[in-house]
Amino acid sequence: MASHGIAAAERGMSASAGNWYDYISLLRPRDWIKNLFVLAPLLFSGKFRDPEAIKAAVLAALVFSVVSGATYVWNDLCDRGDDAMHPVKRHTRAIAAGRISVGAGRVYLVFMLLVSAGMMYLMPAVVPAVLAYLILQTAYGLLLRQVPVLDLFAIATGFVFRVVAGSAAIDVKTSSWMFIATVSLALYLAASKRLAEMRSSGAGARITLERYDEPTLEFFTQTSALAMAIFYVLFTVLERPALLHTSFFVFLGVFRYRYVTQKNATLETPSEILWNDKLLLGIMLLWVIDCAVVLYLFPPPPLI
């Protein structure tokens, strides 16, 4: 089915070079909110009181934003067949919609990779994590996105590399508990995304969805959500006791996220859900502010 989608998409793409808005949309700037994970080490290490650490962390987040923009172009090129059959993405994704040709998309990808290389030159500390992320995204686009379970772990690992990059940028160690909590949260977001895609677009909208079923995705979602909450609580109890009360916002956020995905099947990605639900966005902001105030008043040791 995907081959028919690619053939149909490419017939409509052959003559279009696109406009500036289409090229910006390929980078999915709204999805750059995921790169806030890069700033997590800055927050939980307490080094946000250090102006130099702030500069390094923000630059690392900018590097990951540019690099992730390049990977979104790559993913759109790889997913153009699936996207051409998707009821929403066939209109919103510029390559699948035929507003940017495959050839123009490939040239743009090379350009973005060159820009990414220049950004990495400015922040050499994050290069290992960024290169690992690029390798992962290449494997995801070529193979992993079609393999059930591996596709979820590939998405989750991308979030982990963001945290690793943030740690490297400000030279702090990553707590084992925070690491596994991040993995669990990312798996929850990935499984929720697949479940939302199945409910809104049907199993035929993506090759991988044909190999899943709703009960399995429900199990993945619930299990990873429970694991994330448990590991976050363990992180606070064992390493940041002053933050234990912030678990309230974590549970509240998980419950609200689940509620939104159940009530609005058209919202498939974490970025769409966050930008479209102001209450969920407010919960996240309150959690960040609460953590920042506590860690400012009670500086932690240099470990996240």
List, for the chain, all residue ranges whose pLDDT scores fall below the cut of 50. Answer: 1-15, 304
Cα pseudo-dihedral 97, 99, 104, 106, rounded to 10:
-20
Please state at what angle helix 176-201 crosses helix 214-239, rounded to 10 degrees.
160
Q: How far is CA 87 from CA 91, 200, 205, in A?
A: 8, 9, 8
| Residues whose CB is less than 8 angstroms from the CB of residue 189 and which lie 6 or more positions away in sequence, other chains included | 155, 156, 159, 270
Which pLDDT score, from 0 to 100, does residue 200 have? 75
Which pLDDT score, from 0 to 100, does residue 267 have? 72
Q: What distance separates the 2 farthest-apart alpha carbons in the chain? A: 61
Q: How far is CA 165 from CA 61, 243, 256, 294, in A?
A: 9, 23, 29, 24
CB neighbourhood size of 211 (10 A): 14
Q: How far is CA 124 from CA 52, 67, 111, in A?
A: 16, 14, 20
Q: How far is CA 175 from CA 33, 158, 167, 231, 279, in A?
A: 23, 18, 10, 11, 30
Closest among 187, 179, 123 to 154, alpha carbons compared: 187
Q: Is the distance from CB of 72 to CB of 27 less than 8 angstroms?
A: yes
Which pLDDT score, from 0 to 100, does residue 203 have? 63
- Please state, in angstroms and rounded to a whole number, the distance separating the CA atoms of residues 21 and 304: 39
- Please state, in angstroms and rounded to a whole number, the distance separating the CA atoms of residues 37 and 18: 32
pLDDT tens string 224-238: 999 999 999 999 999
Half-sphere exposure of 75 (CA within 13 A, CB side): 23
Which pLDDT score, from 0 to 100, does residue 4 have? 47
**pTM (2 d.p.):** 0.85
CATH numbers and ranges of domains, the chain: 2-297 (1.10.600)
Which pLDDT score, from 0 to 100, does residue 9 have? 46
CB neighbourhood size of 1 (10 A): 12
